[in-house]
Structure 1
Amino acid sequence: MHVASAVVDEFPDGQLYVNLRGVEGPAVAAQPSDVLGEFLRALGVDGANIPVGAREREALYRTRLAGKRILVLLDNAADEAQVRPLLPGDPGCAVIVTSRSPLALDGGHPLSLDLMTEREAIDLLRNILGADRVDAEPAEALEIVRLCGLLPLAVRISGARLAQSPKWSLSRWRSGLADERRRLRKLKVGDLDARASFNLSYDHGLTKEQRRAFDLLGLIGARDFPGWVLGPLLNCGSHDADEILEAMVRAQLLEEISVDGEESRYGFHDLVRDLSREHLEARTDRASAAARLAGAYLSGVASMHKVRDPTGLSTWDDLVMCAAGAVAPEIRLSSDLPNLLDAVDMAAAHAQERCALDLARLIIPLLEVPSLWTEWASLADTGLDLARQLGDRPVQAEMCRHQGEVSIYRGYREAAIGRFTTGLRVLEGSGEARAGAVLLLRLGEALRFVGRTDEALDRMEQGKRIFIDLGDPLGEAYALVSIGGIQRVRMRWDDAVESLTGALRVLREFRHRRQTAIALVSLGDVYHLKALWTEAMECFDECRRLFHDGGDRMWTANTDRHIGIVDFLTGRWIEARSRFTAALEVFTKIGDNRKRALTLWNSGELLIAEGRREEAHACLDEALQIFESMKDRFGLALVLTTVGQLCATEYALGDDLDPQLTRGLVVAQELDHDLLIAMAKLNKAEVLLRQDHPSEAIAMARPALEISRRLGAPRWEANALTLLARAHEQAGDHTTARRLTTESSEVHRRFGLYRATEAARR
């Protein structure tokens, strides 16, 4: 009507309007012959001269329009057959046709009307209600039009209801609309009724089976869904399901949102979804439909596991094989995750607890690679509740393990220890030895992160013995990877190389690519600590390719961080800075705070070497805050030693650095970590040297040199030699100073070390 009013001057001979009532069904819809009679009378034809036959009326209608400029408005058309007899034949005339279904008319220009924008909806509400009330509560007004789904009819009804109640606040009306179960009941005023409007399309635009489909789609809580879901809901073939979906789209009750290859995704308008759920309540077959859909998702996820690279020791292999026996739809985690999570809730709500639990068990392992911690944690909590309802102790322990694993990633190490311990307690007396072994490995990893390395190694060795007793070489290999990580932290580098290379032989044999890559990261780190750059880079290059090919952003970024460390130590500072920056962006985005803190520490070391001290302080301070909040004592010790290095090289007479330097040494001694102790001692020696106490500096630095040599840590051996040479020079012992300088240069040359520490000191 608005368009017709806007172009009235272009049609000086007048306008013809009719409501065809097509949406109200065949019994009510206007017949073309009757409409032609009305139009002919409007065009000046006497009633006695109007033909009886439809064809004759059509011919006379077009004759009367010949040579005129008239606009014909056909509102609410049912289909093409209702419209075609009413189309004028003269090119000077024009027709506007409105319909809830798309029409195929020759010479027509179809236009699909979208929802209003938020601004347009607010303006409509303001026009009905008045600017003062809307502008007084702008946030509530915006939420109201959003709850109306930006649908003009719903916004008009909301405005009219508020206009009838001038003392009501917009907040009160918004609260009422927020209740999805009552929203449609509220959206009614006078002859304006949102539910009745939708039900016209439902009652007269759909067949009985199509209405059943509309009702059962109310089971889906996600905002959109793939078209294949209708097959299991109705227990019908894909061809029939596609035709039903197309019918609902034509009836404007469903929207085709996107097309990916041959698969379309669909979605309801929010208010139409409310109507679908209302109808769902009356269906007695909703539980069986929910079971079929959840089963389809279970089969689809099981099929994903059959082709994906394992991420860990699975305790659900039999479940995968069983579920994969059914017809499996193709699942895309990037688009289908909300539907998968919804399917778990749907199955649980319709007395399908076992199916819901099995689905949760299969989804959770898929969430690690894309770093979906929030979804992982939520699903593990749901799974634990379901396992408790079913009295399934092994799966309860499995869900405790998942809770602990995601807690580690999110930085909650003490919580992780508690979850793993609970899982082990649940398993007591169950005979589930393998699941217990996996929990022991995970518990060991959590203990390692809080600095309890002796306990950590003990738990891991227990797990390894269980795998050996079970005759499980793959489980033993997983244990060796964890043990190698502990040996690396405890500076037993040769033992770590032996454990990790032994694990790699088995992992490669079983083609466990992701765990192979994780083992390679640890092995490369050991080689870097030993300044074996070629061996380190061979490990890092291989594992980076494996992580990248597997789409694992977190581990790819972590490998880049390790490569950046090698770049830094060998003088490729520009490359190191680029890798640290990219890794930091990934860790920040996925919420991995520990790796973010480690990268900030690495960046701080680089910035010290580049002489950018203020930026270095900022990075190291942020890293300290993260490690302190996580109670990660090893990470704390790493950063404190670097802070000590920065403070020592900035020392000026009168500075009181003892608290800072002492704290780093104390934490290192509490951890009984010789290399960190050596680093802290070198920092103290640097300050003593700057205070003109060369003898005390020598006494402090010599144990650090002995530790570095005993551990085989060339980087810190070279640093200790350089500092001792300066101390002897300051003490007047030039011969010893020259000898130590030569030894330092030889270590730098032999291991390809860049003199970053010396550059920073200068």
Structure 2
Amino acid sequence: MTDGIAQGREDGMPLGPRGRHRFFRWLNRPRRLVRLSAGQRRRFILVVGNTIVTSGAIILQVSARGNLVVWTLALIAVSLITGILAIGTEWLISEGAEKKASEDRRAGWPDSRVVDGAAPLSLELPPADEQFVGRRLQLDQLRDMLRRTANDGRGAPVLALYGMGGVGKTSLAVQFAEEVRSEYPGGVLHLSLSAGGTSGLDAPDPATALGRLLAALGVRAGEVPPEEEARRRLYFDRLVGRRVLVVLDDAKSAAQVRPLLARVRGCATVITSRRPLGLLEAVPFTVGGLDDDSLRELLIRHVGARRVEEEPDAARQIIRACGGLPLALRLVAARLAADGHRTLAELADRLSLDEFRSGDVRVRDAIEVSYAELSARSRQAFRLLTLFPSISLREWAPAPLLDIPVADALEVMEDLVEAQLLERAARGGSNGTEYRFHALVREYAEERLAAEETPEDQRVALARLGGAFLALAEYAEHLTDPTVPRHGRDGGALPSSAEHWHVDDPALLRYAEYGPTRWLLGDCRRLGRMVERTHEAELWDLCWELSVVLARVLETVYTVWNRWDDVLRNGLDAAARRGDRRAESIIQQGYGVLRHYQDRFDEAEQHFTIALRLCREIGHRPGEAYTLRWIGRGHYFAGRFAAAVHELEQALELSRALGNKLAEARVLRDLCEAYAGLRRFTDAEEAIRAALALFEGDAVDQGADWDVRQPAEAARARRDLGVLLNRRYKFAEAEQQLTSAVDTLTELGHWYWRASAVFDLAMLRLRQHRPIEAEALMWQSFDTFNDSGYRYWTAVVARRLAMLRLEQGRVEEAVELMMPVLETFQHLGLGLWESYTLRVLAWARREEGRLDVADQHLEDAAALAERYQDPWGLMRVHWMQASVWMAQGRTTDAVRLYRDAAATAARYEEPWQEAEILADLAKALRATGDRAAAARAEAEAKEAAASFEMQQAGTSRRMRRGWRRWRSRTMVRSRRRA
């Protein structure tokens, strides 16, 4: 307080002149009535009146004693006296107020709003923002919080709005205060706690802020005590009996704001600040950015709907660049509105942090204020975190970047969150809390990095960060597959030259320890970008070692990213610069796996061939076994089943010799498919049951994460077993295995293999004569593969859907599905699948009556089947071609093809197929006039059908009826075709 204000007592009453009698000071007490609010004065008058009336009633009861006339006269007299006293009291109050104002004018006292000699002060709310958009949900949430807190027993709510600079905290607080103003008849006070606020004054300390609030509440300057504590008590005294809403804008600390809280029942306080203040009294509310629709509406209000509609792409680009900050959009929009000839695209193409300004207002200033308030360590972390290889930041990231203990990293991240320079992206999980930069804040951090960190400092920090990633990745890989030793460890196949950061630090390794497979899946993108960054920084050892880890786990994580080409190319270059042939072989294997899953099977085989040569040259037998397995898989997908079996059997022999049970189980699973392609179903079943026993038993030691990976590996084996059992007509067990596989893969989120298992379950439903369920399952699988861009599987499923359409008589739809399928298989160079597709397309052309076209398709299909040495596929082609020749009148040639097809079916022990072919053969023989041969063929057909029905003796009655109906329909169709 200044010298012009008299010293006051603790209760805020001014002392009288020295020597005045106590009696006169007592007479001055009624002047307190002047300071009462209207409601308080009414209550005072009501109390006085009730007291007089009650006293009069008692007197009447004592004195009247039943005299009605005396009692009535006394009652009238008491009522008149009560009314006169009430009127007199109100007159006294009014007269006192006028007298006080007159005395103030005569004494020349300053206006009651003048504090410390300043100009008259108004703490009225600033005008509500005319461009306020969105936030309806937040306003409703704040109203609910206010009502809930007011009714929880405290009665004086405190709401604290936190958010980064420019997010619109003040606008939201002012809009909210305007909406609830009617609930606070005592008034709404707005006080800026930052320099240059709405009052135009400097940032106040608590005592000064209390003085301003007291002045706004009607306290004269001479009655404001100098001590902060006395001002605080007087502030509370002035709030008693009023309903006042106090808005404290841009608070800096809890110490600054705590004495100003309107902690009086009926009042409320709203605080805005950039960082959490740690106020236990406050209910926190985070103010986030505006959604894109609200920002678009704000842009339209500034520049007009026409300009936004004419350039929708540029408008979206501007909105995305603002990142939800209304201040950023307003600054850009103000520049566009000021220059009507400037297009949105011209500004959108050059948007950077410096473009978000208008006049002397800049987004940069809001970020700089927060940055300047950080500690030196947090500022350095803020700069170096831009080296992290993703927008989403791990909570341990500051540790290697600053070379501090991992335990201190979370404290640094939370400090940046409190400063509103980072935001929490996700919580929980083995990876801890994730954080994220706002786009404009990240740009500012990158500027600070370039200005305050030398290139060498950045390179050293990046090396530590890459070393941390390498330590985590190797540890996660080792936990998922203990047969792969960690680099640099005793017995390791790859001696490490790269610097590992805290390679044995439990505080760091715990992030990968509790879920290594999930860690690899979640961080593979970051690992890939670390490879690219270390290559740019010429950290060759780090680059190739990270690439090796990624190449070895590519079978697990290949579906997660689409930039593996760059990663593997950089890793291969770094390995070549270091002359590490073992690393080159592993990265070539990774390339092969990638090309395989890209359906580029010829390129995959080239990479695997190089990897196999390198492994044999350096004598690395585990790598040789792994490469042989993948070469065998490539042969299988290309339809070269015999070659696939040859390579896979070599891989199995090597894996068993090395004692690698996991590799053995995986090779057995692949062998099952290759054996089935050769119709060696007994060998196939033995292989897949052996693989399943390994996956589900204790023979395969997979360490800490086997409880996660084992169900996935076992589910894939059950899926393969279910497919095999379906082909062998063992439907009950097939359904059990396939349903279990689908459920497990769904639970684990392995969508790729789940889609494959769903398709195989659909094929089972077809054989169970449940076509509606089968079609629904097929479309599920098709949508998954098609949306993910897997052309091979998309084409496989679409081909089967086309066959279903043909069986339903919907020929045009079938052809529409088949044409892109044929183009896909031709483009991928999968000749065997092209043969299968041509056969189905010939079926459609036959149904259309285009027999010549159908015959040509079948000739092409037969040539491909012979080239790929697929006798079963050739049998199916000949069977259909015979029906076409019958329709063309080439009966003798058709009989020859029917005989060849029936012999092939018998050789492969397929009695149902054999029975159908023999039935068609009998019709053809009858058409030639050879009735005896036709009778023999019919007898053989019945014998084959009986054999099949004996095999199906264990199936349900419904299944057997279904097979009979299917046989009947097949024979009818055959007669019609004939």
TM-score by length of 1: 0.84
Deviation at 1:627, TM superposition (A): 1.6
Q: Is this contact kept in 2: 1:23–1:76, CA < 8 A?
A: no
| Residues 148 and 155, structure 1, Cα contact 8 Å, conserved in 2 | yes
Match of 2:766 among 568, 572, 575: 568
Within the candidate set 541, 550, 553, 2:751 is matched to 553
Provide closer, same or farther for how the CA distance between residues 565 and 277 of structure 1 changes in structure 2, counting only shifts above 3 A. Answer: same
Aligned equivalent of 1:735, options 905, 916, 935? 935
* One-letter amino acid of the counterpart of residue 298, structure 1: L
Listed as ranges, the gaps of 5+ residues in structure 1 are: 178-182
Residue deviations 1:120-165 (CA, integer Å, cap 9, x gap): 3233334444555444423212211220212122222212333454
**Residues 725 and 740 of structure 1 are in contact (CA less than 8 Å); yes or no, is this contact kept in structure 2?**
no
Secondary structure, in 3 states, of the residue corresponding to 2:349? Answer: helix
Kindly indicate whether residue 312 of structure 2 is the aligned counterpart of residue 145 of structure 1.
Answer: no
Instruction: Provide the residue aligned with 2:209 in structure 1.
Output: 35
Say whether 1:162 aligns with 2:162: no
Alpha-carbon separation, structure 1, partners of 2:540 and 2:196: 42
Matched, 1:119 2:302: no
Q: Does 1:748 align with 2:943?
A: no
- Relative contact order, CA 8 A, sep 6+: which one is greater? 1
Correspondences of 1:28-177 after superposition (within 5 Å): 29-41=203-215, 47=221, 50-63=224-237, 71-88=245-262, 94-103=268-277, 108-177=282-351
Match of 1:595 in 2: 793
| CA 1:65–1:565: 2 relative to 1, 3 Å | closer
Q: CA deviation at 1:194?
A: 1.7
Q: Does 1:627 align with 2:825?
A: yes
Q: 1:669 aligns with which of 855, 866, 883?
A: 866
- Which of 273, 277, 287 matches 2:442? 273
Query: Residue 389 and residue 148 in structure 1: after superposition, are their counterparts in 2 closer, same or farther (change >3 A)?
Result: farther
2:286 alignment partner, SS class: coil
Contact 1:219 1:290 in 2 (8 A): yes
1:455 CA drift (Å): 5.9
Partner in structure 2 of residue 180 of structure 1: none
Name the CA shift for 1:85/1:91 in 2 (closer, same or farther; >3 Å). Answer: same
The CA distance in 1 between the partners of 2:241 and 2:734, in whole Å, is: 88
| Secondary structure, aligned partner of 1:222 | coil
Partner in structure 2 of residue 398 of structure 1: 586
- 1:248 paired residue number: 416
| Deviation, structure 1 residue 722 | 1.9
Give the CA deviation at 1:621. 3.7
1:150-299 → structure 2 map (5 Å cutoff): 150-177=324-351, 183-204=352-373, 206-237=374-405, 239-260=407-428, 263-281=432-450, 282-283=452-453, 285-299=457-471
1:301 pairs with 2:473: yes
Report if the CA contact (8 A) 1:258-1:266 is conserved. yes
Q: CA, structure 1 residues 94+709, in 2 after alignment: closer, same or farther (shift >3 Å)?
A: closer
Range that drifts further, 301-310 or 211-220 = 301-310
The verdict on how the C-alpha distance between 1:690 and 1:511 changes in structure 2, with shifts beyond 3 A counting, is farther
What is residue 117 of structure 2 aligned with on the other side?
none
With over 3 angstroms needed to count, the CA separation of the structure-2 counterparts of 1:454 and 1:64, relative to structure 1, is closer
* Aligned CA-pair RMSD: 4.2
Q: Distance in 2 between matches of 1:495 and 1:359?
A: 40
- Does the CA contact (< 8 Å) of 2:555 and 2:593 recur in 1? no
Contact 1:480 1:499 in 2 (8 A): yes
The residue type paired with residue 342 of structure 2 is: W
Matched residue, 1:330: 511
1:129 and 1:548 mapped to 2: Cα distance? 49
Q: 1:170 to 1:557 in 2, by over 3 A?
A: closer
Q: Which amino acid aligns with 2:439?
A: D
Which structure 2 residues correspond to residues 343-362 of structure 1 after superposition, within 5 A?
Answer: 343-362=530-549
Residues 259, 265 of structure 1: 8 Å contact kept: yes
Structure 1 position 169, deviation (Å): 2.2
Corresponding residue SS for 2:447: helix
Q: 2:192 matched to which residue of 1?
A: 19
Q: Is the 8 A contact 1:532 1:751 kept in 2?
A: no
> 1:715 and 1:671, CA in 2 relative to 1: closer, same or farther beyond 3 A?
farther
Amino acid at match of 1:296: A
Q: Tell whether the 8 Å contact from 1:70 to 1:94 is kept in structure 2 after alignment.
A: yes
Matched, 1:583 2:781: yes
Describe how 1:699-738 pairs up with structure 2 within 5 A: 699-732=896-929, 733=931, 735-738=935-938
Corresponding residue for residue 407 of structure 1? 595
Determine whether 1:759 maps to 2:969.
yes
2-side partners of 1:464 and 1:325: how far apart? 35
Give the letter for the 2:477 counterpart.
H
SS in 1 for 2:285: coil
Residue 688 (structure 1) aligns with: 885
Secondary structure of the residue aligned to 2:562 is helix
Alpha-carbon distance change, 8 to 396 in structure 1, aligned in 2, over 3 angstroms: same
Separation of aligned partners in 1, 2:749 and 2:187? 65
Cα distance in 1 between the residues matched to 2:747 and 2:262: 63
Distance in 2 (CA, whole Å) between partners of 1:520 and 1:511 is 20
What is the CA distance between 1:454 and its match in structure 2?
A: 6.4
- AA at the equivalent of 1:18: L
1:621–1:474 CA distance, 2 compared to 1 (3 A): same
Deviation by residue 1:732-761 (Cα, 9 ceiling, x = unmatched): 515335413322422431343836465255
Task: Report matched runs for 1:1-20 at 5 Å.
Answer: 1=126, 2=128, 3=175, 4=177, 16-20=189-193
Query: 1:639 maps to which residue?
Result: 837
The whole-number CA distance in structure 2 between the counterparts of 1:566 and 1:49 is 91
- The Cα of 1:101 is off from its aligned counterpart by 2.2
SS of match in other structure, 2:255: helix
Report % sequence identity.
Answer: 28
SS in 2 for 1:111: strand
Equivalent pair of 1:302/1:321 in contact (CA under 8 Å): no
> Deviations along 1:89-146, whole A, 9 cap, x unmatched?
6656654422112345576554332212223323333444455544442321221122
Q: Return 49-58 or 592-601, whichever deviates more.
A: 49-58
Tell me if structure 2 keeps the 8 A contact 1:530–1:714.
Answer: no
Classify the secondary structure of the residue corresponding to 1:114.
Answer: coil
- C-alpha deviation, 1:309, in angstroms: 6.4
Q: Is the 8 A contact 2:911 2:944 kept in 1?
A: no
Residue 583 of structure 1: CA displacement? 3.1
Give TM-score, length-normalised by structure 2: 0.67
Counterpart of 1:260 in 2: which secondary structure? coil
Q: Contact 2:882 / 2:894 at 8 angstroms: preserved in 1?
A: yes
CA distance 1:252–1:708, change in 2 (3 Å):
same
Question: Is residue 919–residue 938 contact of structure 2 (8 Å, CA) maintained in 1?
Answer: no
Give the length in aligned residue pairs: 752
Where 1:657 maps in the other structure, the secondary structure is helix
CA drift at 1:192: 1.2
Given that 2:916 and 2:941 are in contact with CA atoms closer than 8 Å, whether structure 1 keeps it comes out as no
